[in-house]
Amino acid sequence: MRFFWHIAAFSLVILFGISPEQTTAQEVEIVLDNPSFEDIPRHSREPRYWTDCGWPSESPPDVQPDFTFQVTKQAFSGNTYLGMVTRDNDTWESVGQLLNQPLEEGKCYEFSMKLARSLSYYSVSREKNVPANYVEPIKLRIWAGFGMCDKREMLDESPLVSNTDWQEFKFKFEPSGGYTHFILEAFYKTPSLFPTNGNLLLDDASTIKMIPCDEPVPDGPQDPEPVSEPLANVVPRSPNTPAQPDRPTPTPPRPQTPPEEQTIAGVKRSEMTAGATITLENIQFEADSSRIIPQSLPALEELREFLASNRDVTVEIGGHTNGWADKNYAVTLSTARAKSVADYLVRKGISRNQVRYKGYGKEKQIDTNETAAGRRRNQRVEIKILDM
């Protein structure tokens, strides 16, 4: 079929004088193998022509419907569809495949597929080891890369999929490289501090079609209703003035202001050097736990936004405890807390290559342990700039 397409495109060039550039711009559609995920219904095995890109310690996605997890929804296209989950142990599922031709850098594409959520997806909680219904709404993220499961660039993501009926979700993306592989990933609601058990059903993937970059593609399952805005600064008409169309008074252009430099805990990039350490005073945890408290979210998001905008910066997340803890316990707890911060950043799209973590226990005290205020200062999270 692919050979026939190339022959047809060449014939158009010969017979009608259509240039190869015109053919590429108007005709190129990348066809996915098994776009409706047809296979034998079964759990823990991805459908044919798709490769499991999830965590090595966890089972692959499922070909649904399958009674094992009590997922009974009828397929939108064909007989089966793909079921993927996120888990409360900070793992999630994804699948990928080699494209029949690479994406083109700087070109724009549209893509769509049917998405839904099942009200029943029963399994076992990885965190609590008890039966759980993986029913939290989650979303789809689309990645591309140069190898199987290489999540080099996130092309687009869906809104939260809470609908239980099949709905079409549309995507538009402009890749920054000539990527050869395409990955579909189930992911948590963001922003969110803690991983949840959720499910996502996928069916009827479209071709990946090249489009003009100025062509809009709506987000989500439905197009929003158009909103009409009232005219502002309209000059009123005197009663003795002949009726004329109202015309808005031109608004003078606003002066351009340079974008504000991003910071970590108030420290600007221009003030940072390799080896510098920054204390994150607003990241805190539950007592004797690595569970981050919700009040820490603004500080975590500030750090995430900085790293997302400064991909050349590599940091180490350092965990520290006060001096009252046992040495071994202090190392264990501080390492777990540093890992919680690093895992949060990776869940939100920061590359593992940008983030390290280490627990220092009570080795590096910065204040006295004889007062509550001093112990709070010692029990901290620090960012060390490893490379810029």
Predicted confidence (pLDDT) at residue 329 exceeds the cutoff of 90: no
In a domain, 245, yes or no: no
Residues 6+ apart with CB under 8 A from 380: 279, 280, 281, 320, 366
Beta strand 108-116 pairing with 208-211? antiparallel
In a domain, 3, yes or no: no
Render pLDDT for 164-214 as a digit per residue (tens, 0 to 9): 999 999 999 999 999 999 999 999 987 777 789 999 999 999 999 999 988
Q: Nearest 5°: phi and psi at 63?
A: -90, 115
- What is the structure's pLDDT at 218? 57
Of 211, 246, 273, the last residue of a domain is 211
In a domain, 7, yes or no: no
**pLDDT > 70 fraction of the chain, expressed in percent and rounded:** 81
Residues 74 and 154 in one domain: yes
Residues 375 and 269 in one domain: yes
In a domain, 138, yes or no: yes
Burial class (CB within 10 angstroms; exposed 0-12, middle 13-18, buried 19+) of 282: middle
d(CA 270, CA 31): 46
Q: Closest by alpha carbon to 84, among 140, 41, 165, 162?
A: 140
- What is the structure's pLDDT at 42? 94
Q: Which of 99-103, 179-183, 253-257 has the lowest mean pLDDT?
A: 253-257
d(CA 145, CA 166): 28
Contact by Cβ (8 Å): 45, 63: yes
Q: Which of 23-27, 141-145, 151-155, 260-264 has the lowest mean pLDDT?
A: 23-27
Predicted confidence (pLDDT) at residue 22 exceeds the cutoff of 80: no
Number of domains in the chain: 2
Query: What separation, in Å, do the N-terminal and C-terminal C-alpha atoms of the chain show?
Result: 48
Residues 203 and 309 in one domain: no
Residues 45 and 189 in one domain: yes
Predicted confidence (pLDDT) at residue 23 exceeds the cutoff of 80: no
Q: Nearest 5°: phi and psi at 267?
A: -95, 120
Predicted confidence (pLDDT) at residue 259 exceeds the cutoff of 70: no
The chain-wide mean pLDDT, for the chain, equals 83
* Maximum C-alpha span of the chain: 89
Per the structure, the complete domain to which residue 301 belongs is given by 263-387
Q: Which of 223-227, 355-359, 368-372 has the lowest mean pLDDT?
A: 223-227
Token pair of 226 as six digits: 């158009």
In a domain, 92, yes or no: yes
Residues 285 and 379 in one domain: yes
The position carrying tokens 């029913």 is 135
CATH number at residue 267: 3.30.1330.60
Q: pLDDT class for 223, splitting at 50, 70, 90?
A: very low
d(CA 139, CA 172): 16
Q: pLDDT class for 67, splitting at 50, 70, 90?
A: confident
In a domain, 181, yes or no: yes
In a domain, 233, yes or no: no
Of 169, 184, 211, the last residue of a domain is 211
What pTM did the predictor assign?
A: 0.60
- What is the structure's pLDDT at 256? 52
CATH number at residue 126: 2.60.120.260
Which of 73-106 are b and which e, b meaning 16 or more Cβ less than 10 Å from the residue's Cβ? bebbbeebbbbbbbbbebebbbbbbebeebbbee
Residues 47 and 188 in one domain: yes
Predicted confidence (pLDDT) at residue 235 exceeds the cutoff of 80: no
Residues 279 and 192 in one domain: no
Helices (H), the chain: 2-16, 20-27, 297-309, 327-347, 372-378
In a domain, 216, yes or no: no
d(CA 93, CA 141): 11
d(CA 196, CA 20): 49
Q: How many CB atoms lie within 10 A of CB 33?
A: 12
Render pLDDT for 124-169 as a digit per residue (tens, 0 to 9): 999 889 999 999 999 999 999 999 999 989 999 999 999 999 999 9
Render pLDDT for 106-127 as a digit per residue (tens, 0 to 9): 899 999 999 999 999 999 999 8
Residues 95 and 172 in one domain: yes
Residues 64 and 127 in one domain: yes
Contact by Cβ (8 Å): 262, 308: no
Contact by Cβ (8 Å): 388, 349: no
Predicted confidence (pLDDT) at residue 331 exceeds the cutoff of 60: yes
Residues 200 and 331 in one domain: no
The one-letter code for the residue type at 290 is: S
Q: pLDDT class for 326, splitting at 50, 70, 90?
A: confident
Residues 202 and 334 in one domain: no
Residues 274 and 178 in one domain: no
Predicted confidence (pLDDT) at residue 217 exceeds the cutoff of 70: no
